[in-house]
Structure 1
Amino acid sequence: MKFFRLKRFLTISTLLFCVLTSQTFANVTHFTNANGYTLRTNTEDKYALIRFSEMLIKNDKVVSIGNGLNAPEGAKVIDVKQRTLLPGIIDAHGHLLGLGENLTQANLREASSEMDAVKLVKDFIGSVSIGDGWIIGRGWNQENWHNKQFPSKDSLDKAFPNQAVWLTRVDGHAAWANSKALKIAGITELTVSPEGGDIIHGKDGKPTGILIDNAMALVEHFIPKLDNKQLHLQLNTAFDHLLSLGITSMHDAGVSEQVRDFYVEQSTDTALRVRIYAMLAATDPALDKMLSEGYISDKQDFLSIRSVKAYGDGALGSRGAALLAPYKDAPENSGLLVTKQAQLPGLFEQVISQDFQLNFHAIGDRANRLALIHFGEAFKQYPNNPMRHRIEHAQVIALDDIPKFKSLNVIPSMQPTHATSDKNMAEDRLGKQRLKGAYAWRTLLDQGSRIAFGSDFPVEKANPFHGLHAAVTRQDANNDPKGGWIPEESVSITEAFASFTIDAAYAAFQEDILGTLDTNKKADFIIVDRDIFSVPAAEIRETRVLQTWVNGKLAYSFEE
C-alpha cells in the first residue's frame, strides 16, 4: 500500500513536472538565423557592436544572445531570415499626445505657402465633422515658404469667418490665429504682450494673428480641454505610428497633471503599448503636489515618472530662442526667456530638492548658459542629487560653456533632425561664429558627454532612421548639402545608435532594463529590412521596420 501511494505520488509529480515544464518552454522563443546587433561597453568606455545570430527570450526578458544557442525542447522557433535584429529605439524627447493630436488634426507640414496652408485646412475640415467647434492644426513653417514671412489672420478670416482657427507652428513656439479666435481671447491692438511672449502687430498697430511663446496661452486658455475619449484616440494613434517606426520607448517632454493621471490609469489597465518616461510640466499649477507624491512606476516598466520639464526659452525659427547677442537677421531682438530669470533659482531648488530629475528646455546660448549656472548652484545646495539632469535641445551653446556639460554631468538631450531642418535658417539667425557651438554632437561626445538622441516629434517627423541618417551625414532627405552641413560635428553610426538606445535609457535611469539586448533586460527589439551598420550612409534614412516587439510580444508587423 505504501508502495502504491509512493508510486501514485511519483506519477502525479511526474505529470505535474511535465505540465509545468511544457508551460515553461511554451514561454520561451528562439529567434534564429538573424543578423543581430547590440552594444557593449569596451575597455575605453566606448561602445562596441556585438553581433549574434540567435536570441532566446522568455516572457518579457532576454535570456541570452549568441551563436549556436541550446534552446530548450518545446521552445517556439522564429526564423528571422537573415534580416537585421536590433534593440528597440528609444526617442529621448517627444510629445506623445501632441503626436496623436497632429495625426488626427490638420497637418500643415507640407504647406508651401500661406495660401497652401489655408487650403490644407479647408481640405481637412471637408473630410471631418467640425461643427461650430475650433479648427485646430499644426506644422506650418514660414521658413519653407518663398517669402519666409509670418502669415496673417486675414487669409484665415476670408476662409473661416465664423469659426475660431488656431494653427500652431511646427516647433510649437508660435501660433497663427484668425480674428474669431483673437476676439474670443479678448486680444486687441491694446493688449500688452506677456513677459516671455510676443503678440505680433502689423504696421496698422493691429494684431496680425501671430503669437509667440507665452503669448500663445492667451488663446489656448479658451480652447476646450480634451476629454478621455479624445485622449484615448490620440494615445493609440500615436502608439500605432511609433511602433511602425521601431520606437519601443519614448520620453514625453512635459505633461500636465491631467495627462499624468491619464497615463497612470492606462498603466493600471495595461493599455500602454510603448514605454513612457514622462516629465512633469514645470508650468502646471499642481507641480508641488505632484512632486510631493513622489516617483510613479508600474510593474511592467511601461510608465516611469521621476522628472520635470522646465522651459527656458523659445525656438530659433520663431526668433524666440534666448541669445547672448542679438539675432543677426533681427538686430533689435535677442529672443525670449519664457521663465523669468529671477524665478530660475527657485525652480531649480523646487525640483532638485525633491530628488527629481530636472530637464531644462534651452535652445539659445543665453538659455543654455543660465541652465548650466543654475544647475551648478543647485548641486552645491543639494549635493545628494547632482546626476543625470538634462538640457533639452542644447542647440546653440557658447564655446566656453560646452565643457560645463561634462564637468557638471549634465546630459545634452538633442535631436539630430533639428540640425538638418534648421541648416537653411540657422546661419541667417546666428551668423557663422555662433554656429561653432551649435548642434555640436561631435564636440560633446569627444569630451565624454553622453548624448540622448530624440526627434522632438511632432516638431520633426518621429522616424528614428531620419535621425540616425542626419547624425551620421549632417544631410537632409535629399542628401544635401554635399559632404554634410558642418560635417566636423557628425558622429558614427554606432555612436548615433547608442544615443538612440543605451544612452537614451541612461538618461531615464533605465539602462539596467532597456537599451541593449542583454540577459534579463526587457525583450524590446525590432527587425528591419537592411543592415544600418554596413549600408551606405545615404540609405539609412530609407530603413523600413518589419517587426516591433515590446515586452516580449509582437506589437507591430509590416504587411507587404
Structure 2
Amino acid sequence: MAKDSPIDFIVTGGPVYTSDPDHEWAEAFVVSGGKIKAVGTEAELRALAGGSVPVLDLEGRLALPGLVDVHAHLGLGGRQLAFELPLLPTDSTAEIFAKVRAWVERLGPEEWVVGGIVGSTVMDDITVQDLQLLDEAAQGHTVMLRDDSMHNRWVNSRALEVMGVTRDSPNLEGGTYVRDDAGNLTGVLHELAGGLAEAAAAASIRDLDQYNAVALKTAIRTLNSFGITSVQEAATMDYALKTLHHLDGQGELTAQVVASMPSRTFIEPGITGPDLYEIGSKHRSEHVRPDFSKYVLDGVPMTRTSAMLHPYICSHPTHEPDFTGESLWELADLVRSLEDLVDRGLHAKLHATGDAAVRRVLDAVEAVRKSRGYGAIFQIAHVEYIDDADLRRFAELQVVPDASPYLWFPSVIQESIAKQIPAETFDKSWPLRDLFEDGALVSGGSDWPCAAPTPDPWTGLETMVTRRSPDPSVAGELNAGQGIDLRQAVAAFTRNPAAAMGLGEVTGMLRPGLAADFIVLDQDIFREDPSAIHKTKVLQTYFEGRLVYDAGDADGSAHTSDMVRSSS
C-alpha cells in the first residue's frame, strides 16, 4: 500500500505469527481500512506511520491470523446453543433421561424436547425398553435427540406418531427406522429418516425466521469467541442463505461464510440442488459466498453406512460377513453432476467417510479434471479412511482433505467405530502427515456440532500434533505416526482452509492486502508443550480490523477504539 494511505492502528508488543510461509514471524503489523497495510519490525512500521498513531499493545501475547473452519453446521450448532437441551456424548441413557425430565419443566404444553449430543456408544445399543424410558422422562412431550455424527436421531413414541411412522412403515430410500430383532421400533432414525423428525420439529416452532436468526447469530458469536473469523457452512439450506444475507446487510455478520448447498435431499428439510443454487445466487453478499455444493457419498461408520473397501466386523446376528456398505452415488452420475456443477461456476464439498467412497470421489474428480480442467475446488470430508493407493491422488488431482480432528478426541466416536471397522483399517486412520508430505492442502474443520458441543479449534489443533486425547484419562494414540508439526497444524487452521474455500486472496494470513482478521491468545502455543494447546483461550478476535470478541467483556463484545491507545 502507499505510504500515505490512512492507518487505523499498529499492532505490536508481542510475537506475531503470520502463517505466511514467506514471512512467518514479525514484530508488528499495520491495519488500514480493515486490511493489513504492512508487516515487519516495530521500528519500520512506526516510521511508515509517522507521527502519532494508535497502537494495540499485545502486552507480550501471541497474535495469529483469524482461524478458518472449513466445516461447520451453523444452523444446527447455533440452535443447539441457543435453544436446545444440552447433552454430553459421554452421557449414559440414565443421565439422558434425567436431563430430559428436568428440561421439560421449562417447556410449554406443546413444545418439543430437542437436543444433543447423544454419543455413538449410546446409540449403538438403544432398545425398545430405552424408548419406553424416554417416553416416561418426556412426560407427554415430543422428543428428538441428535447423535454425535448429526446423521442419526433418537425420537420418542410421540414423535413417531407425529411423523406418521409405525411398526409397518417401510424404510425410506437412504434412511432407516431402526427396529429390534422382533421388528419393534426403537426410536432410532438413521440418515434421511431423521429428516422427517427435523421437519416435524421445525413445523412446531411459531416464529421460525426469528428462531433461525437467533441461532445463526449465536453461531457466529461462538465462532468469534474461539478465534474463528471465516467458516465454510457445510450444508447450507435456504433459510440459512436468507438469514445470513440479512444479517450481513445489517452489519451483524462478523465472519466470512462460504456456503455449501446440498445437491440432493438432505437430513435437514428444504430445497436442494439447482433450485437451491438459484436461491444462493440471489443471496450473495460481501461476507456470504454461496460458492459450493454439498454431496453426500455415504453415511458414517458407526452405523455401518460408510462405503468401505473391506467388510465390516460382524457385530450382530443378521450381519452379512461380506458387507462393505455402499456409495449413494454411481460413478457416472457423480461425474455428470460435478461437470454440471463446474459449468455453473460452483465448487464441491463431498462427504465421504469410507475409503471406498473416497476412491469414488477421486475417480469422479479425475474424470472431471480431464473434461473441465483444474479451475474448480473439490474437498473431501472427512478423509478418515484412505487406501494407500489413493493418498497421492489428493495432491495430484488438487483435492482438499477436509480433516475433522474433533471427531478423534475427546469424542466417543472412535470407540464406536472400532466395533465396526477392521483393525487393519482403523489403525491407519487420518493419515495427515502423508497428505501433507505429498503436498495436499490439508484443512481443519470442526464439523460442529458433531462430536463436541462447541467449535473449539484448540483441541483439534492439538490432536493433529499429538494424536492423543487432551483428557489424560483416555489412554492410547490414534495412528501416532501420522502426527504433524505445529506449524503444519496452524496452517491447517489458517491459510490452507482459506485457500480451500476460495478465500486465499482474502484472509488466512497476516500479509499486506489481506483482511485484518487476527486474534490475541492467552498463551504462546509455540512455546508451550503441545499437550497444553487445548487450554488456549482467545482474548480478542478482530474481523476486518474491528474487535468482535473480547474475553474481558461480560458479553464478549467490545469496540476497537476501546482497545488501542494513542502513541507518539
* TM-score scaled by length of structure 1: 0.88
AA paired with 1:407?
A: E
Residue 292 of structure 1 deviates from its aligned partner by 5.0
How far apart, in 2, do the equivalents of 1:266 and 1:531 lie? Answer: 34
Please tell me whether residue 438 in structure 1 is matched to residue 429 in structure 2. Answer: yes
Please give the residue correspondences for 1:38-77 in structure 2 after superposition, counting only pairs within 5 Å: 38-41=18-21, 50-67=24-41, 68=43, 69-70=45-46, 71-77=49-55
How far apart, in 1, do the equivalents of 2:279 and 2:448 lie? Answer: 29
In structure 2, the partner of 1:156 is: 134
SS in structure 1 opposite 2:309?
coil
Residue 230 of structure 1 deviates from its aligned partner by 0.4
How far apart, in 2, do the equivalents of 1:434 and 1:130 lie? Answer: 48
Whether the 8 Å contact between 2:65 and 2:509 is mirrored in structure 1 is yes
How far apart, in 2, do the equivalents of 1:324 and 1:509 lie? Answer: 32
How far apart, in 2, do the equivalents of 1:348 and 1:106 lie? Answer: 38
Whether the 8 Å contact between 1:387 and 1:409 is mirrored in structure 2 is no
In structure 1, the partner of 2:348 is: 358
Please tell me whether residue 258 in structure 1 is matched to residue 269 in structure 2. Answer: no
In structure 2, the partner of 1:370 is: 360
Greater mean deviation of Cα atoms: 198-207 or 431-440? 431-440
AA paired with 1:59?
A: G
In structure 2, the partner of 1:34 is: 14
In structure 2, the partner of 1:276 is: 257
Residue 130 of structure 1 deviates from its aligned partner by 3.8
AA paired with 1:490?
A: G
State which of 303, 319, 331 in structure 2 corresponds to 1:318: 303
Alpha-carbon distance change, 243 to 125 in structure 1, aligned in 2, over 3 angstroms: farther
SS in structure 1 opposite 2:189?
strand
In structure 2, the partner of 1:449 is: 440
Per-residue CA shift, 1:211-262, capped at 9, x if unaligned? 1002212333322346211011111211222111111111100111222122
In structure 2, the partner of 1:393 is: 382
Residue 550 of structure 1 deviates from its aligned partner by 0.6
Alpha-carbon distance change, 473 to 111 in structure 1, aligned in 2, over 3 angstroms: closer
Q: Percent identity?
A: 25
Whether the 8 Å contact between 1:195 and 1:338 is mirrored in structure 2 is no
Per-residue CA shift, 1:409-428, capped at 9, x if unaligned? 11111111223334434433
AA paired with 2:248?
A: S
In structure 2, the partner of 1:18 is: none
In structure 1, the partner of 2:407 is: 418
Point out the structure with max Rg over C-alpha.
Answer: 1
Residue 169 of structure 1 deviates from its aligned partner by 0.6
How far apart, in 2, do the equivalents of 1:387 and 1:479 lie? Answer: 42
Residue 335 of structure 1 deviates from its aligned partner by 3.4
AA paired with 2:311?
A: P
SS in structure 2 opposite 1:132?
coil
Greater mean deviation of Cα atoms: 216-225 or 54-63? 216-225
State which of 496, 508, 519 in structure 1 corresponds to 2:512: 519
Whether the 8 Å contact between 1:322 and 1:334 is mirrored in structure 2 is yes
Please tell me whether residue 469 in structure 1 is matched to residue 462 in structure 2. Answer: yes
Please tell me whether residue 106 in structure 1 is matched to residue 106 in structure 2. Answer: no
Per-residue CA shift, 1:183-208, capped at 9, x if unaligned? 11121121111222221111331111
Whether the 8 Å contact between 2:100 and 2:137 is mirrored in structure 1 is no
Please give the residue correspondences for 1:10-409 in structure 2 after superposition, counting only pairs within 5 Å: 28-41=8-21, 50-67=24-41, 68=43, 69-70=45-46, 71-103=49-81, 104-126=83-105, 128-143=106-121, 149-150=125-126, 152-225=130-203, 227-283=208-264, 285-291=271-277, 301-330=286-315, 331-332=319-320, 333-335=323-325, 337-338=327-328, 343-383=333-373, 386-409=375-398
Per-residue CA shift, 1:94-117, capped at 9, x if unaligned? 011111111120111255311211
Per-residue CA shift, 1:385-411, capped at 9, x if unaligned? 554211111221222222221221111
How far apart, in 2, do the equivalents of 1:433 and 1:296 lie? Answer: 48
Greater mean deviation of Cα atoms: 242-251 or 314-323? 314-323
Whether the 8 Å contact between 2:10 and 2:53 is mirrored in structure 1 is yes
Per-residue CA shift, 1:483-503, capped at 9, x if unaligned? 732111110010010010000
Alpha-carbon distance change, 74 to 253 in structure 1, aligned in 2, over 3 angstroms: same
Alpha-carbon distance change, 408 to 296 in structure 1, aligned in 2, over 3 angstroms: farther
Whether the 8 Å contact between 1:201 and 1:207 is mirrored in structure 2 is yes
Per-residue CA shift, 1:139-192, capped at 9, x if unaligned? 01142x5x9523532121112252211111111111111111111112112111
Residue 124 of structure 1 deviates from its aligned partner by 2.7
Residue 551 of structure 1 deviates from its aligned partner by 1.0
Greater mean deviation of Cα atoms: 154-163 or 506-515? 154-163
How far apart, in 1, do the equivalents of 2:371 and 2:108 lie? Answer: 52
Greater mean deviation of Cα atoms: 518-527 or 273-282? 273-282
AA paired with 1:52?
A: A
Whether the 8 Å contact between 1:419 and 1:439 is mirrored in structure 2 is no
Whether the 8 Å contact between 2:261 and 2:272 is mirrored in structure 1 is no
In structure 1, the partner of 2:551 is: 558
Whether the 8 Å contact between 1:267 and 1:298 is mirrored in structure 2 is no
Residue 297 of structure 1 deviates from its aligned partner by 7.9
Alpha-carbon distance change, 515 to 537 in structure 1, aligned in 2, over 3 angstroms: same
How far apart, in 2, do the equivalents of 1:412 and 1:87 lie? Answer: 21
How far apart, in 1, do the equivalents of 2:288 and 2:547 lie? Answer: 19
Alpha-carbon distance change, 434 to 142 in structure 1, aligned in 2, over 3 angstroms: closer
How far apart, in 1, do the equivalents of 2:348 and 2:456 lie? Answer: 26
SS in structure 1 opposite 2:294?
strand
State which of 537, 540, 544 in structure 2 corresponds to 1:544: 537
How far apart, in 2, do the equivalents of 1:386 and 1:64 lie? Answer: 30
How far apart, in 2, do the equivalents of 1:119 and 1:341 lie? Answer: 47
SS in structure 1 opposite 2:408?
helix
Greater mean deviation of Cα atoms: 108-117 or 242-251? 108-117
Alpha-carbon distance change, 224 to 475 in structure 1, aligned in 2, over 3 angstroms: same
Please tell me whether residue 508 in structure 1 is matched to residue 497 in structure 2. Answer: no
State which of 523, 532, 553 in structure 2 corresponds to 1:530: 523
Alpha-carbon distance change, 130 to 278 in structure 1, aligned in 2, over 3 angstroms: farther
How far apart, in 1, do the equivalents of 2:336 and 2:66 lie? Answer: 38
The CA RMSD measured in Å over matched residues stands at 2.4
How far apart, in 1, do the equivalents of 2:120 and 2:488 lie? Answer: 33
Unpaired segments of 5 or more residues in structure 1?
Answer: 1-20, 43-48
AA paired with 1:453?
A: G
Alpha-carbon distance change, 172 to 286 in structure 1, aligned in 2, over 3 angstroms: closer
